[in-house]
Structure 1
Amino acid sequence: MLFDMDGTLVDSERLWDVALRELAVEYGGSLSDAARVAMVGGDATTSMRILHADLGQQWRDLATSQAWVARRMGELFRTGLVWRPGALALLLAVRAADLPTALVTSTARPLVEIALETLGRDNFDVVVAGDEVRAPKPDPEPYLLAARLLGVPIERCVAIEDSRAGVASALASGAAVLGVPSEVPLDPVEGLHLLETLAGVDLALLGDLLARAEAARP
């Protein structure tokens, strides 16, 4: 099992929204809704490029902006993380069944370490953070790396995602993909199984997704 974090397991996209909009104000501007949507599911560097361009301040230093957001998100993660509907129950069911499980996120390792205090470190055999891959989502590398570290063929993995970038990454990797949108709607695409929530999702449904994905392969 391959779980995305932000917007999938925990309702943290609203916290990113707070930090990003606060940084825009700090820079004397305001973040447009279109720019915010474009950031969902992306890595920190890409998000800062979008923010700077949205403000017409492309001259700003990416590392400085990333550090500001990381500091603010650390504060918000410590006090504001809540589970998405059905996420904890599904994660516990997966672990009770002793299924190899990875957390695959675009968030950098320092913030992931804070989030794991809520998520539970023992709930994951492997954690792949956004600053630990050469090519972040929507590239398939994060999911391919997670499957390799788990020792499970990617074709035998189910990935659960909420963002367009994450879905693209998971589909390109060859995993079976369950999409549960949070902040941004997901378009129906081949290979993507869409649900409104993880509430009620069980191991039988995940097994069915794998079987369908296998049947669809040439």
Structure 2
Amino acid sequence: MTYSRPGLGAVLFDMDGTLVDSERLWDVALRELAIEYGGSLSDAARVAMIGSDAASSMRILHADIGQEWRELGPSQAWIARRMSDLFRTGLVWRPGALALLSAVRAADLPTALVTSTARPLVEVALDTLGRENFDVVVAGDEVRAPKPDPEPYLLAAQLLGVPIERCVAIEDSRAGVTSALAAGAAVLGVPSEVPLDPIEGLHLLESLAGVDLTLLGNLLVRAEAL
């Protein structure tokens, strides 16, 4: 498929902390699991998990509470069950996220949801986000190398049939920003739980409130000029 449309070609959205305020829900579940295992999750370990896939997060948790011997599978299953309950009742849109997503869809621009969360939980979240709002969904358990590797964003662009250089990725985490920049997308960072360092190629805003298609298009122009 040859993509010939000029300017902004697609918008690639992260989910947790970017579109929805779900990091606080992950915080609840992860701290509960640490307590279930007789430990206490440190703030440093929790911050290290943000933007990571489930397996990486469980490794961090196990190491943090001194139980590296634990198998990943049972811990991932426990978190998945708890997060499924929390996602059904507690997902809230981040400021400006729904308005921007609606504007992108109204402009008939291709969209992708690119998340480190596993597909079963993504399916629960899509009840809030709207399945019709995304042409492609790339979940954390559907790639060989999750964020911060560029594979998730490269795969999303490939599935959309849009060159990654014509895509804007919207992220809140260091791992996600690293992934999107390495893939070659223009990147808008809207930090949620942890600050993002200003780096070359990253445009930082406090939130998505007021972000429109003109701003996203300008990010591509700036990226091309670098």
TM-score by length of 2: 0.95
Deviation at 1:56? 0.3
Identity %: 88
Choose from 206, 210, 213 the match for 1:203: 213
Report the secondary structure of 2:113's partner residue.
Answer: strand
Amino acid at match of 1:72: R
Map Cα deviations across residues 156-198 of structure 1 (whole Å, 9 max, x no partner).
0000000000000000000000000000100001000000000
Q: Per the alignment, in what secondary structure is the counterpart of residue 9 of structure 1? A: coil
Counterpart residue number, 1:3: 13
> Aligned partners of 1:32, 1:115: CA distance in 2, in Å?
27
Q: Deviations over 1:109-164 (max 9, x none)?
A: 00000000000000000000000000000000000000000000000000000000
After TM superposition, give the deviation of residue 214 of structure 1 in Å.
Answer: 1.1
The match for 1:122 among 132, 142, 154 is: 132
Partner Cα separation in structure 2 for residue 22 and residue 190 of structure 1: 38
2: CA distance, partners of 1:113 / 1:69? 15
3-state SS of 1:196 partner? coil
Tell me the equivalent position of 1:212: 222
Q: 2:8 aligns to what?
A: none
Aligned to 1:65: 75
Provide the residue aligned with 1:169 in structure 2: 179
Tell whether 2:189 aligns with 1:156.
Answer: no
Shift of 1:32: 0.1
Deviation at 1:215, TM superposition (A): 1.6
Q: Does 1:84 align with 2:94?
A: yes
Letter of the aligned partner of 2:110 in structure 1? P
Aligned length: 216
Structure 1 residue runs of 4 or more that deviate by more than 6 Å after TM superposition:
none
Q: Which amino acid aligns with 2:44?
A: A
- Correspondence 1:50 to 2:65: no
SS in 1 for 2:141: helix
Question: How far apart, CA to CA, are the structure 2 residues paired with 1:196 and 1:54?
Answer: 30
RMSD between superposed Cα atoms in Å: 0.3
Partner residue of 1:14? 24
Gaps of at least 5 residues in structure 2 are: 1-10
Please give the secondary structure, in 1, of the residue aligned with 2:137: strand
CA distance in 2, matches of 1:150, 1:212: 23
1:10-57 CA distances to partner (integer Å, 9 max, x unpaired)? Answer: 000000000000000000010000000000000000000000000000
Match of 1:29 in 2: 39
Distance, in Å, in 2 between the alignment partners of 1:171 and 1:150 is 18
**Partner Cα distance (2:37, 2:197) in 1:** 33
Structure 2 counterparts to residues 172-191 of structure 1, below 5 A: 172-191=182-201
